[in-house]
Structure 1
Amino acid sequence: MGASSSTEQVPAEQREAESLTASTGALPMLQKAFSVLADPQTNTIPLHSLQQCFGLVFENPTCEGTAIPPNFQGLLSHLGSSIVDLLFMTEKGGVSWIEFLRGYVKCCGRMSASTSFNGLFRILAMALAKAGLPEKLQFESDDDGGKMSGFLMPVDVLMLLWMCYIMSWNYKNLVSFGGKDHGLPDLSHLVFSAVLSCAEAGVELNPWDCDILSMDVQLPAAKIHLWALKTVPSLTDCLSGYVHGKLEKSFTSENKLDPSCSAAHDLSPIVECNTNLLNQGRAWAISLTLRSTLSGEITKASFPSYGDGTKDSILYRSSLHGKGLNRFWSNVEGYNGPMLILIAASSGDVHNDNGNVRRWILGALTHQAFENRDMFYGSSGSLYAISPVLNVFLPSGKEKNFVYSHLHPTGRVYDPHPKPVGLAFGGSIGNERISIDEDFAKVTVRHHAVDKTYQSGSLFPSQGFLPVEALILDVEVWGLGGRTTKEMQTSYKKREELFTDQRRKVDLKTFSNWEDSPEKMMMDMVSNPNRVQREDR
């Protein structure tokens, strides 16, 4: 394997490769993987063994929302060989220890986001070419930093996203995936985002009524690259995680050299997840926009078998807990952590199938607990256009009007200038970017010109400049603070219930006689409310 007890006997080239790999923390794992994959006689990994290690077989893929491209399985079947050909250099028919380390660092080492995306697009282009599809991407040099030219079609973007989704599922060491019972998620909102961002001027797109496979739109490679860097910066983690996970599985007894994805056994969490607004496709897409620990929390909703699942993550759903600000507040109060709020709305009559109904989903990511205040507050957050087109609007840095949550004031008899009651994000009081009324019946969306807190952009297609008032269909709130934050909220609620019960109880033993009892006081007030009550001194 190249390991030696004396540093003087180790060539400088090997020491350099091991040093770079050690900085990633994966050197011990790679030593185990190499000892399993390598041929003891040649001390190199045979090419077919490495291809089998990174191979991926996904039989009979299905998707409810989008048809499967006919060449998608061919793309997946050539994924392993494409990874090996681009990352690892062969010597005498095999991959040596030094080249094995270099190939790993080339994919999983520290590098710029642009370089990482170049490597991902190179693997896509090679796999498509091996599947017999026309070459659409060209690269100036063999280095990952080489400039990319050419174009992709919307169906190519869809296959790239699905390929990364399957790699994500695989490297997270989940029990099962694939087969007719567990299909691919609908990622049309991500594809439409790429099309609207990268297509040439004059291209018309109706995302509510559009077939991705039949779209004849060329998306320039340079624009696709910029869109990916801005919208889905974590997409390259799917490739690096897949390579790392496959090598780690190579020396485990139960998964040794098993490239296939077996059929799912327990489907109840999956079915439950896909009935939520935050289904698997939307959850995974949102996780790609984040470069923080929150991505992992949202991934639990994307992959129900991963982590703690979805039962403890969802805090409120209007269709389950009831609509209204008070119902909302009773479920989110005491949760001192990040939350993702999703609002499903319709700008037409949902009971009339006249074709003019436009359903869309918005989202807001908060990084703090909700507070009952009559002014905007918050330290950070993001707005999301989720469906039918996904876009993320990060903080602009100009203002900090992230969240507004105000209930009916208590203890005040009259307020000459009452503040609005409801929930809002961005803008200012009276001109909120997104505002929800007290009954959770209507949502008002305004143009980004009124908002200096979040970046500009349309929250749904054809938004326009005038405020849009829409009917709320459902509201969901997901807690992203993890198990500890949820346990703290549960403790908070138990304390509040205890205090409430104590305040409701009146101990009559504390009153010495009938004259001092609360019953006597109430009867006197009802019988003669204008009676002057004198206090004995």
Structure 2
Amino acid sequence: MGASSSKEQNVSSEQREVESLAASTGSTSLLQNAFSKLVDPQTNAIPLQSLQVFAKSPKTNRGNAFSLNYKSTECEALKMPDSLLGLLNHLGPSIVDLFFITDKGGVNWIEFVRGYLKCCGRMPVSGLLNTLLRLFSATGVKAGIPLKLEVEAIDDGDYKINGSLLPIDVLMFLWMCWAMLWNSKTWNVFKEKECLYLPDISPLVLSAVVSCAEGGIGLELWDCDVSVLDVQLPVGKFLTWMLTTVTNLTECFTQFVNARLQNCTSSEQGTPESSSSSLREISSEKAGNSRLLTCGKAWAISLTIRSTISQEILNPYFPSNSDASDENLIYRSSLHGKGLNRFWSNVEAYLGPLLILISATSGDANEDCTNSRKWVVGALIHQGF
């Protein structure tokens, strides 16, 4: 096992190198525990299926690692593409195939650590985003989704991605990232026996369309259905958009990998008593249109902020934190009354970070207007008023 082999006298320079890199991430103990839980004692390697498949063998007491096996979904607003669950079902095998090199006996300690570093090691954000998109491409191929992406290997283990994406592809990619984050946050609550909750992220997809499509700024996107929008987004521009707009997207993958390795070492494998009410609360209250800050908006905002504020904005939308949804609420017009005086009396002298959302309707006030448009504008103030 990795825990014992690292203490032996005759340790190869290759093993010392990968263990040193793992130590720099603070994950040595996690990797040792996960390896000891998943390893086959006879081969001193992890069987391939233990990394790919969601199962626990009663004979070997080995757990799973990277699979996602949701049977159903609940969407905040958008209709889910039929191929999404198939995409998620192939995520685990794709992670193993891309990042973990297997020997005839499975994945040994060195390759296990090296594979982890490819997923969660220290690297530029641009490299992690490239890795995330490469994972989406490989998973799409396994799921039979016709993506116009080509991955080209270049020197030093780097990869270049060419091609383009449709808005529906961007939606699937972002929902894949969300599914990994949702799983890492809710695994101990649901154990995948609940359906996957999918937030409405159409404004996020349209942001990518406007930034990446040829003439995107001039497109008529109001009330647009992103699932049928037929515009090509060059992958180079899309990577630039991610780097400048949603840099926290990489956390979805790294948190998923770390959480799944942590969970497979847990001694508690029982099924939670009840969790369906938590998901219903998410869909009926927090994520619904009755609140300006829906789950989709909260996630979109959190992806743009690299600070603890990001987690504070998003955490109430996970079932494990469902009781803390309003603890940071300072002002809401439906509760505190409308008007600038009411607003100011609640926020004056508050010096912490403040997220403000304002909803309005635009249209002709002089006649019955059938084409009025509702919109929401937001601002994040880091030092309050």
TM-score by length of 1: 0.64
Partner amino acid for 2:202? Answer: S
Partner amino acid for 1:298? Answer: I
Return the alpha-carbon distance in structure 2 between the equivalents of residues 148 and 307 of structure 1: 39
Structure 1 position 271 matched with structure 2 position 284: yes
Partner residue of 1:101? 113
Return the alpha-carbon distance in structure 2 between the equivalents of residues 61 and 356 of structure 1: 32
Gaps of 5+ in 2: 54-64
Task: Note the C-alpha offset of 1:50.
Answer: 0.5
Structure 1 position 210 matched with structure 2 position 211: no
**SS state of the match for residue 265, structure 1?**
helix
Structure 1 position 86 matched with structure 2 position 98: yes
Task: Note the C-alpha offset of 1:179.
Answer: 7.8
Structure 1 position 44 matched with structure 2 position 59: no
Task: Note the C-alpha offset of 1:94.
Answer: 0.6
Task: Note the C-alpha offset of 1:111.
Answer: 0.3
Return the alpha-carbon distance in structure 2 between the equivalents of residues 364 and 245 of structure 1: 32
Return the alpha-carbon distance in structure 2 between the equivalents of residues 179 and 159 of structure 1: 22
Partner residue of 2:138? 126
Partner residue of 1:289? 304
Q: Out of 246, 256, 268, which is 2:260 matched to?
A: 246
Task: Note the C-alpha offset of 1:6.
Answer: 4.9
Contact 2:71–2:195, Cα closer than 8 Å, also in 1: no
Task: Note the C-alpha offset of 1:212.
Answer: 1.7
Return the alpha-carbon distance in structure 2 between the equivalents of residues 352 and 273 of structure 1: 34
Partner residue of 1:169? 182
Partner amino acid for 1:221? Answer: V
Deviations 1:264-310 (A, max 9, x none): 33233553312311110100110000111111111223425338621
More helix per residue: 1 or 2? 2
Contact 1:44–1:97, Cα closer than 8 Å, also in 2: yes
Count of aligned residue pairs for this structure pair: 367
Contact 1:179–1:263, Cα closer than 8 Å, also in 2: no
Return the alpha-carbon distance in structure 2 between the equivalents of residues 190 and 6 of structure 1: 48
Task: Note the C-alpha offset of 1:336.
Answer: 2.8
Q: Out of 170, 177, 198, which is 2:212 matched to?
A: 198
Partner amino acid for 1:23? Answer: S
Q: Which moved more, 1:206-215 or 1:135-144?
A: 135-144
Task: Note the C-alpha offset of 1:145.
Answer: 3.3
Partner residue of 2:242? 228
Return the alpha-carbon distance in structure 2 between the equivalents of residues 71 and 6 of structure 1: 47
Return the alpha-carbon distance in structure 2 between the equivalents of residues 303 and 36 of structure 1: 28
Deviations 1:489-514 (A, max 9, x none): xxxxxxxxxxxxxxxxxxxxxxxxxx
Partner residue of 1:438? none
Return the alpha-carbon distance in structure 2 between the equivalents of residues 135 and 208 of structure 1: 26
Task: Note the C-alpha offset of 1:178.
Answer: 7.0
Q: Which moved more, 1:4-13 or 1:219-228?
A: 4-13
Contact 1:178–1:263, Cα closer than 8 Å, also in 2: no
Return the alpha-carbon distance in structure 1 between the equivalents of residues 310 and 110 of structure 2: 33
**SS state of the match for residue 197, structure 1?**
helix
- Could you say if the C-alpha distance between residues 144 and 168 of structure 1 is closer, same or farther in structure 2, counting changes exceeding 3 Å? farther
Percent identity reads 53
TM-score by length of 2: 0.88
Task: Note the C-alpha offset of 1:326.
Answer: 1.8
Partner residue of 1:149? 162
Return the alpha-carbon distance in structure 2 between the equivalents of residues 162 and 54 of structure 1: 17
Return the alpha-carbon distance in structure 1 between the equivalents of residues 216 and 282 of structure 2: 43
Partner residue of 1:421? none
Return the alpha-carbon distance in structure 2 between the equivalents of residues 367 and 202 of structure 1: 31
Partner residue of 1:409? none
Task: Note the C-alpha offset of 1:203.
Answer: 8.0
Contact 1:171–1:242, Cα closer than 8 Å, also in 2: yes
More strand per residue: 1 or 2? 1
1:353-502 to 2 correspondences below 5 Å:
354-370=369-385
Partner residue of 1:310? 325
Structure 1 position 58 matched with structure 2 position 59: no
Task: Note the C-alpha offset of 1:334.
Answer: 4.4
Q: Out of 160, 165, 181, which is 2:173 matched to?
A: 160
Deviations 1:215-269 (A, max 9, x none): 121111101101111110000110111011000000112348x9xxx96332335
Task: Note the C-alpha offset of 1:72.
Answer: 0.8
**SS state of the match for residue 159, structure 2?**
coil
Contact 2:282–2:322, Cα closer than 8 Å, also in 1: no
- Could you say if the C-alpha distance between residues 102 and 11 of structure 1 is closer, same or farther in structure 2, counting changes exceeding 3 Å? same
Q: Which moved more, 1:64-73 or 1:204-213?
A: 204-213
Which protein has greater RCO, CA pairs closer than 8 Å, 6+ apart? 2
Contact 2:210–2:216, Cα closer than 8 Å, also in 1: no
- Could you say if the C-alpha distance between residues 20 and 74 of structure 1 is closer, same or farther in structure 2, counting changes exceeding 3 Å? same
Deviations 1:167-186 (A, max 9, x none): 11111245238788773111
Return the alpha-carbon distance in structure 1 between the equivalents of residues 6 and 236 of structure 2: 49
Partner residue of 2:18? 17
Structure 1 position 339 matched with structure 2 position 354: yes
1:170-185 to 2 correspondences below 5 Å:
170-173=183-186, 175-176=189-190, 183-185=197-199
Partner amino acid for 1:111? Answer: M
Q: Out of 323, 339, 362, which is 1:324 matched to?
A: 339
Gaps of 5+ in 1: 371-537
Contact 2:76–2:283, Cα closer than 8 Å, also in 1: no
Contact 1:350–1:357, Cα closer than 8 Å, also in 2: no
Return the alpha-carbon distance in structure 1 between the equivalents of residues 379 and 238 of structure 2: 25
- Could you say if the C-alpha distance between residues 202 and 55 of structure 1 is closer, same or farther in structure 2, counting changes exceeding 3 Å? closer
